[in-house]
Structure 1
Amino acid sequence: MTVAANVFVHPNGLCESDEVGAGTRVWAFAHVLPGARVGRACNICDGAFVENEVVLGDNVTVKNNVLLYNGVTCENNVFLGPNAVFTNDLRPRAHRKLVGDALRPTLVREGATLGAGVVVVCGTTVGSNAFIGAGAVVTKDVPAHAFLVGNPARQKGWVCRCGAPLDESLRCAECGTGHRLVSAADGLEAVAG
């Protein structure tokens, strides 16, 4: 992928990557380093930082001051709230500079939302359509459609793809979508009807 002709970079933004998809916007004081792979129709807001080995799918929203370090992959339709931060080293030391495979990867699956100020500790996977509430600290894998809050983040329920909470029968009162539990680790999947 190469930078598409209709990528918008604010005059005070810095986009050094040549792998940016059509319709993506990079706003003032955001910095996308060379090597970062950014999909189509992404919105990278003021003050965001996207390091060299980050991968963003299509239609990813990166709100103000989000910090994405090497090893982070966000699939399509992920929302990262203001000041969300990702780590990539479980035992950082100034005298020890880890690179490449020595860093712990983090994966945010399709449609997940991370609220304002969320911290994601490296080596975790956030499941599809999961919703992490503002200020939470994610220290372990998150099942699909799980709703988590707190420090450390703890599951408080389930949410639909539309973002609404699910009732005890795992049905969404807002859009009517039903869900079934795949497993405690994998979370939910939507069901027809």
Structure 2
Amino acid sequence: MTETKNTNGARIAPTADVDAHAHVGDGTRVWHLAQVREGARIGRDCILGRGAYVGPGVIVGDNCKLQNYALVYEPAVLEDGVFVGPAVVFTNDEFPRAINPDGSLKSADDWHAVGVTVRTGASIGARSVCIAPVTIGRWALVAAGSVVTKDVPDHAVVAGVPARRIGWVGEAGVPLRRAEDGTLRCPLTGAAYREVGDELISVVEVAS
């Protein structure tokens, strides 16, 4: 892209629309036709792809990636290292209507926005829809095309409509495999975990 630099050292395409009252962190890249609304705060070293939308007051942590045409509506909060795939939608209205019962057009005063929270390291696959209010746990993975209607535990892999847990994933993003000792292990890093109810707990191994 043809780039311009703001005072924070962010690289913003001339065709992007970044409100003067938004904050974009050092090293962040905002690509063609992306829009960042007033009061939004984007952290350091993020990537906002073509046509991505970040609503007013949305908070995005450091090292996040919002792929092409991701729609992140307020009051969403994304912690550090979050991946949001192409055409993902975060909703913000539990009971959407264009008009009130009397037929008048709804205004900002006629509804209460609710947000999606995504914890550190989680990934949301392409064309998924997260129905607010929900929280996506740390290092969780939402499979492409899923519709998330309830909270997702840390490290969970969820898929489907509505999304259901189908497994567990490690910090490297690879599904965990069950070992002979009953633990779940990452095939890349060797990190070990144990299921405790509906949660995954990291196992600290002591060297012999």
Fold conserved between structures, TM > 0.5: yes
TM-score of the superposition, structure 2-length normalised?
0.86
Matched with 1:70 is 74
Q: 2:194 is paired with a residue of what secondary structure?
A: strand
Shift of 1:189: 3.6
Whole-angstrom distance in 1 between the partners of 2:67 and 2:89: 11
Distance in 2 between residues matched to 1:110 and 1:75, nearest whole Å: 5
**Alpha carbons 2:8, 2:24 under 8 Å: kept:** no
Residues 53, 174 of structure 1: alpha-carbon distance in 2 compared, 3 angstrom cutoff: same
Q: Residues 111 and 101 from structure 1, CA distance in 2 versus in 1: closer, same or farther, beyond 3 angstroms? A: farther
Q: Following the alignment from structure 1 to structure 2, what is the Cα–Cα distance between the partners of residues 64 and 153?
A: 22
Which secondary structure does the structure 2 equivalent of 1:102 belong to?
A: coil
Q: Quote the offset at 1:55 in angstroms.
A: 0.6
Structure 1 vs Structure 2 CA RMSD? 1.7
Which secondary structure state, in structure 1, belongs to the residue aligned with residue 74 of structure 2?
A: coil
C-alpha distance in structure 1 between counterparts of 2:16 and 2:48, whole Å: 10
Counterpart of 1:41 in structure 2 is 45
TM-score normalized with structure 1 length = 0.92
Structure 1 unaligned blocks of 5 or more: none
Question: Are residues 84 and 99 of structure 1, via their aligned partners in 2, closer, same or farther at CA, if it must alter by over 3 Å?
Answer: farther
- The aligned runs of 1:110-149 (5 Å cut-off) are 110-149=120-159
User: For the structure 1 residues 192 and 99, does the alpha-carbon distance in structure 2 shift closer, same or farther, using more than 3 Å as the test?
Assistant: farther
Determine if contact 1:53/1:69 at 8 Å carries over to the other structure. Answer: no
Q: Distance in 2 between matches of 1:82 and 1:99?
A: 31
Alignment match of 1:10 (pick from 13, 17, 24): 13
Q: Specify every segment of 5 or more residues in structure 2 that has no aligned partner in the other structure, as ranges.
A: 1-5, 100-105
The question of whether the paired residues in 2 share the 8 Å contact of 1:13 and 1:27 is answered with yes
The one-letter amino acid paired with 2:122 is A
- Corresponding position of 1:55: 59
1:191 alignment counterpart: 203
Q: CA deviation at 1:30?
A: 0.2
The verdict on how the C-alpha distance between 1:31 and 1:127 changes in structure 2, with shifts beyond 3 A counting, is: same
Q: CA deviation at 1:4?
A: 4.4
Please identify, of 3-12 and 24-33, the stretch whose mean Cα deviation from structure 2 is larger. Answer: 3-12
Task: Provide the residue aligned with 1:171 in structure 2.
Answer: 185
Percent of pairs with identical residues: 41
AA matched with 1:55 = I
Larger Rg: 2
- Cα distance in 2 for partners of 1:19, 1:81 equals 22
Matched residues, number: 189
Question: 1:148-191, CA deviations, whole angstroms, 9 ceiling, x for partnerless residues?
Answer: 1111111110000101111222111221001133541xx32433
- How far is the alpha carbon of 1:89 from its aligned partner? 0.5
Distance 2:111 2:7 in 1: 30
Kept in 1, the 8 Å contact 2:56–2:75? The answer is no
Question: Which deviates further from its counterpart, 88-97 or 152-161?
Answer: 88-97
